[in-house]
Amino acid sequence: MGDHHGAVPAGALDVAGAGWAAVELGALAVVLLVWALHSAGRRSARGRGPWPAARTALFAGGLLCVAAALVGPLARAAHGSFTAHMGAHLLLGMLGPLLLALGAPVTLALRALPVRRARALARLLRRPPVRVLAHPAVAALLAGGGAWVLYTTALFPAMHASPWVHVAVHAHVLLAGYLLAASLVGVDPDPHRAPVAVRAGVLVVYVAAHTLLAKHLYAVPPSGVEPRDAEVGAQLMAHGGDVVDLALAVLVALGWYRATAPRGRTARPSPGAGDPGPTCPGPGPLPASSPPRARRPAGLTGVERWS
Amino acid sequence: MATAHDAGAPPARRSRRDGPADPGRRAVLAGVLLGAGAAASLVDLLVFHLALQWHHFYDRSTPAVSITSDAFFHAAAWTASVWGVFLLLDVRRRGPVPWRRWTGAVLAGVGGFQLVDGVVDHKLLRIHQVRYDVAALWVYDVAWIGSAVLVLVAGLVVLRRARPARSPRRAG
């Protein structure tokens, strides 16, 4: 749709203004900081065996998605074009968080932190507020409901008028997307992971809400968006969202498939085919007598390991 | 496969690792889910939406309740397809797959879904029609519903013929 700016309120035209430049720089700084922390964590966790390269690649891919949504040409085009905005939101709220969650950042933190701090983090993750937030139904409500509020209220023009609203909306989109991905298909420790039927049910409702919102936006554009731009953006939302939703469905089913593996077939030395045993060292150091495969708690196949 | 608990001792609680008591029924469920899910997601999307372009993304005139039910249909269809595939993989890793029963179930799933789509979605809820801007819509409807019934009946016949024999007399 190009970079036309006719569809947004006057306040948003000042994309090059100091506030917006600060937002972009801040986002870049956060992404770089997270990557620096991740690198430091990998170095610190080296004593527990090498961190799987695939996990690092997934996490880096997620960070790249987030960066592409917040910094650079797509982020700038998103100020004027609803289609570009939707592309950025697919990266920021769906694909990026999914890749970040598959990168098992909490497991890396538990391995990298000193024992006492790791235990404190593990305790924090078990606290009721975190458990509530990490429930798939709550996460889906935050992610899907948040999108409904954003696109059907005055919040959408507001986020293009005020850098602060912009930052808050983007932070919500990213965090809610991460919660949803982690609660549905996360590989990090989750002692209270919802049963697979609940996760599949939540996914169906979430996908339906997503599709419905896309059709609604096709017919009723968010305030300040031209109809043609809204049509293209809504279809991008529907079809791009479908691709990520399909990946989520496959990963939920894959988790079930691995967790229900027939007995006797999981004893292979391959890095865990869904063995629910306590194969991750958790917050503390590995006991000396732990089995050899316990060294690879974050193997790519451990989707249901913590359930 | 699931003979571990048959030997006299008090049967332990069945774990989900033990698989279904009747793998054949899981194969049928897998086939129905895959058939119905693929009919709902792939046939509609690939053939009628993208290739023929008879359907629209959204024609703006559809009542809210219809697009809501359509959205849930869409979401359930993708999920059903995926579970159909994984259930089949599960049956396969536990023993031989009853392929004929599975095939019959896929056909029944496709036909059953197309029938529901043709009658409920097209005619009762009027979510969308088979085709727009044609005079003789009833021809399309008859072709749609008729083909759905044919496929459904074919699937049921295959299922019945492939049914495991329970009595000395062969079924079918």
Q: What is the pLDDT along chain A (307 residues), one digit of tens a residue?
A: 344 444 444 444 455 577 888 899 999 999 999 999 999 999 999 888 889 999 999 999 999 999 999 998 999 899 889 999 999 999 999 999 999 999 999 999 999 999 999 999 999 998 999 989 999 999 999 999 999 999 999 999 898 888 899 999 999 999 999 999 999 999 988 878 899 999 999 999 999 999 899 988 988 898 888 989 999 999 999 889 989 999 999 999 999 999 888 876 554 443 433 333 333 443 334 333 334 444 444 444 444 344 3
Q: Which residue's structure tokens are 């932070």? A: A171
B99 and chain A: CB distance < 8 Å anywhere? no
Looking at residue B129, its pLDDT comes to 64
Phi-psi region of A49 (alpha: psi -120 to 50; beta: other; left: phi over 0): left
Q: Which residue's structure tokens are 């479908």? A: A242
Structure tokens at A78: 């998103």
Say if CB B125 and CB B103 are below 8 A apart: no
Q: What does the alpha-carbon distance between residue B61 and residue B170 come to, in Å, rounded to a whole number?
A: 53
No. of helices (H) and no. of strands (E), chain A: 14, 0
Say if CB A110 and CB A121 are below 8 A apart: yes
CA B41 to chain centre: 11
Please say whether the dihedral angle defined by the alpha carbons of residues B98, B103, B109 and B112, taken in this order, is positive or negative. Answer: negative
A chain contacts of residue B94, beta-carbon cutoff 8 Å: 262
CB contact under 8 A, A208 and B18: no
Structure tokens at A73: 């040409």
Task: Tell me the average pLDDT across B75-104.
Answer: 91
Give the residue numbers in A contacting B (CB under 8 Å), as ranges. Answer: 200, 203-209, 211-212, 215, 218-219, 234-235, 238, 242, 245-246, 249-250, 253-254, 256-257, 259-263, 265
Looking at residue B23, its pLDDT comes to 77
Please count the other Cβ atoms lying within 10 Å of the Cβ belonging to residue A223.
Answer: 16
CB contact under 8 A, A204 and B60: no
Q: Amino acid identity, residue A224?
A: G
Q: Please enumerate, as own/partner, the contacts of B59-65 that have beta carbons within 8 Å and a separation of 24 or more.
A: B59/B128, B59/B132, B60/A218, B60/A219, B62/B126, B62/B127, B62/B128, B63/B126, B65/B125
Looking at residue A288, its pLDDT comes to 39
CA B105 to chain centre: 7
Residue B99 has pLDDT above 60, yes or no: yes
Looking at residue A219, its pLDDT comes to 86
CA-based nearest residue to A270, from A306, A240, A300: A300
Q: What does the alpha-carbon distance between residue B162 and residue B172 come to, in Å, rounded to a whole number?
A: 8
**Please, what's the b/e burial string for A32-64 (b: 16 or more CB within 10 A of its CB; e: otherwise)?**
eebeeebeebbebbeebeebbeebbebbebbbb
B14 vs chain A: nearest CA distance in angstroms?
A: 12
Looking at residue A55, its pLDDT comes to 96
Q: What does the alpha-carbon distance between residue A150 and residue B5 come to, in Å, rounded to a whole number?
A: 55
Q: What does the alpha-carbon distance between residue A196 and residue A77 come to, in Å, rounded to a whole number?
A: 39
Rounded to a whole number of angstroms, the distance between the first and last alpha carbons of chain A is 45
Residue of B nearest to A241 (CA): B75
Choosing among A185, A198, A199, A260, which should be mutated to test the B contact, i.e. which has the most B CBs within 10 A? A260
Q: What does the alpha-carbon distance between residue A210 and residue A85 come to, in Å, rounded to a whole number?
A: 16
Its pTM surpasses 0.90: no
Phi-psi region of A277 (alpha: psi -120 to 50; beta: other; left: phi over 0): beta
Looking at residue B144, its pLDDT comes to 82
Rg (CA), chain A: 21
Least confident segment among A173-182, B17-26, B154-163: B17-26
Q: Which residue's structure tokens are 């009595």? A: B167
B chain contacts of residue A235, beta-carbon cutoff 8 Å: 57
Instruction: Tell me the domain boundaries of chain B.
Output: 21-161
Q: What does the alpha-carbon distance between residue A124 and residue A126 come to, in Å, rounded to a whole number?
A: 5
B78 vs A249, A259, A260: nearest CB: A249
Rounded to a whole number of angstroms, the distance between the first and last alpha carbons of chain B is 27
Looking at residue A283, its pLDDT comes to 39
Looking at residue A262, its pLDDT comes to 84
B60 and chain A: CB distance < 8 Å anywhere? yes
CB contact under 8 A, B1 and A205: no
Please say whether the dihedral angle defined by the alpha carbons of residues A211, A213, A216 and A221, taken in this order, is positive or negative. Answer: negative
Q: Which residue's structure tokens are 């935050």? A: A142
Structure tokens at B60: 């703006």
DSSP 8-state assignment for residue A306: T
Q: Amino acid identity, residue A75?
A: A
CB contact under 8 A, B93 and A261: yes
Instruction: Tell me the domain boundaries of chain A.
Output: 10-260
Greater confidence, B135 or B72? B72
Looking at residue A295, its pLDDT comes to 41
Looking at residue A305, its pLDDT comes to 42
B81 vs chain A: nearest CA distance in angstroms?
A: 10
Residues with Cβ within 8 Å of A186's Cβ and at least 6 positions away in sequence, in order, are: A101, A102, A193
Percent of chain B with pLDDT strictly greater than 90 = 27
Residue B10 has pLDDT above 60, yes or no: no
Q: Is B148 helix (H, G, I), strand (E, B) or coil?
A: helix
A34 vs chain B: nearest CA distance in angstroms?
A: 34
CB contact under 8 A, B82 and A246: yes
Percent of chain B with pLDDT strictly greater than 70 = 70
